[in-house]
Structure 1
């Protein structure tokens, strides 16, 4: 009995430990920054210019809080802090040559109790194109900072820039300065959405829809095309009664009776302040005519 009881206790401890480990793994995977394995493109900086590239900031609290502290691959130290009384500003890094970045992480200062209120709340992540700062990512109301936990931010970008910066406009309430313990920049090709390829101009594509399509006539109608002896073609959209009246006139005149001309109403082809416009067809100028009746 004692042996069974001991085995039961050990099994219970093992089961509890397994559940705790599973919960811990799930929690760690859900934390930002732990879901991807990508390389930090910024080297471990020992100063603003060593070992390569250059770290810079809009202001610093003191010489001990320089920009390179945010790129020294740890959040343990004093990190970067802006000038006293200026709780906003930018911090950036310039690569030796242009590189594409579409992911970055931020971590608060690990050894300071006010890390949450002095960390960024509103900012843009920007790339320098040689003339202007291009906004690549915008974040607002980021408040749930935890010491020892990185926040990961991704965006679609395949363009290589030489300089990047985090432009902070508001921290989480501490009136003295804004701080960052550690910042990383990465590139993950799996999150890049390819831009659509331009169409081959030699391959005909679908014709654009006419913004003012010609309405399909409804009812008993037809297109009458009259070819004149000069080769000129005249087209009329008429009711079948109007078409039959024209044919009756033409056949009557051909038989030797009727007037020498026939007036065809131009209907919607009227232009200008007219009550109506008519095209008078001279019998001896007509070479042929064609009737195309609309299907019902």
Structure 2
């Protein structure tokens, strides 16, 4: 066997092996956009009650336009759901088996919208609502939606963090058709907004501490005792007869504490009853003002 013939056979063997392997266990790559696409939370419905959940509508144009047709997974559906109501133009709903959070939905027109005569059947003004057990809660509204195109979805997003079991599309006006309003398909999603990773701030050295600051002049007390009067945010006023060392200890605590930090003050000769000591506690963020009135004990 010639050398060139061996090379050709080897190349064909490798190509055949690659083809066989690729047809088995290697899935096609999925783009980031496809993998992050929201998932429709409504199963493909085959009737108004199957396979899961329940679909209802305020009215239907004809039996072939049942509400479940709006959730049957056929985005080019010529039938879809159609309402025979006018002003308002009707609603269609889907009820989940258990509460879910919905904050986005998509709508498709019927495939017959390629004919200009059918463009007027699409919703123009509508709301997306949730049922709380007693009332319909407005989650989102749209007005003057006129740019429907064949085979093109319209996606609507809004803020909602609460779970509901039942949601509906409520059509207030269509785009001009007097006989009925229709849509081809509808999907509902729960999208999660990604939280960006925090960016680390650049580190820097603290500024040098000056060494030539003037020496502070010590505060010379004008007495050895003081009345500490504290006014609380509740309007109550507390007064304590204390030594200056106790007052200074309170002042040091007040300057360094915050929030719900508490401080115990000895009530001394204000004791009542057979107690060796009584301590009253004050909370830092409950103190509105305080006053220190110094005096010299006689």
TM-score, reference length from structure 1: 0.51
Pairwise mapping of residues 189-204 of structure 1 onto structure 2 (< 5 A)? Answer: 189-190=192-193
Q: Specify whether residues 77 and 36 from structure 1 end up closer, same or farther in structure 2 by C-alpha distance, changes over 3 A only.
A: farther
The unaligned stretches of length 5 or more in structure 2 are: 1-32, 196-226, 230-292
For residues 136 and 44 of structure 1, what CA distance do their matches in structure 2 show?
24
Residue equivalent to 1:65: 65
Cα deviation code 1:229-283 (max 9, x no counterpart): xx9x9xxxxxxxxxxxxxxxxxxxxxxxxxxxxxxxxxxxxxxxxxxxxxxxxxx
1:91 is matched with which residue?
92
Note if 1:174 corresponds to 2:181: no
In structure 2, the CA distance between the partners of 1:91 and 1:37, relative to structure 1 (3 Å rule), is: same
Number of matched pairs: 164
- SS of the counterpart of 2:193? helix
Residue 187 of structure 2: aligned partner: 184
Bigger Rg over Cα: 1
In the superposition, relative to structure 1, how do residues 191 and 72 fare at CA in structure 2: closer, same or farther (>3 Å)?
A: farther
TM-score, length basis structure 2:
0.51
CA apart distance, 1:90: 0.5
For 1:191 and 1:118, the matched residues in 2 are separated by 37
Cα distance in 2 between the residues matched to 1:36 and 1:61: 37
CA contact (8 A) 2:58 2:91 kept: yes
Q: 1:189 Cα shift?
A: 1.2
- 1:1-296 alignment, distance < 5 Å: 37-75=37-75, 76-83=77-84, 88-112=89-113, 113=115, 114-190=117-193
How many Å separate the matches in 1 of 2:147 and 2:99? 33
Deviation at 1:167, TM superposition (A): 0.7
Distance 1:141-1:84 versus aligned 2 partners, 3 A rule: closer
Q: List structure 1 runs of 4+ shifted beyond 3 angstroms.
A: 33-36, 84-87
What is the CA distance between 1:84 and its match in structure 2?
6.3
* Distance (Å, rounded) in 2 between the aligned partners of 1:34 and 1:173: 36
- Residue by residue, what CA displacement relative to the aligned partner does 1:5-57 show, whole Å, maximum 9, x if unpaired? xxxxxxxxxxxxxxxxxxxxxxxxxxxx9996110000000110000100111
The answer (yes or no) to whether the contact 2:59–2:85 under 8 Å persists in 1 is: no
Q: Is the 8 A contact 1:118 1:174 kept in 2?
A: yes
- How far did 1:77 drift? 3.2
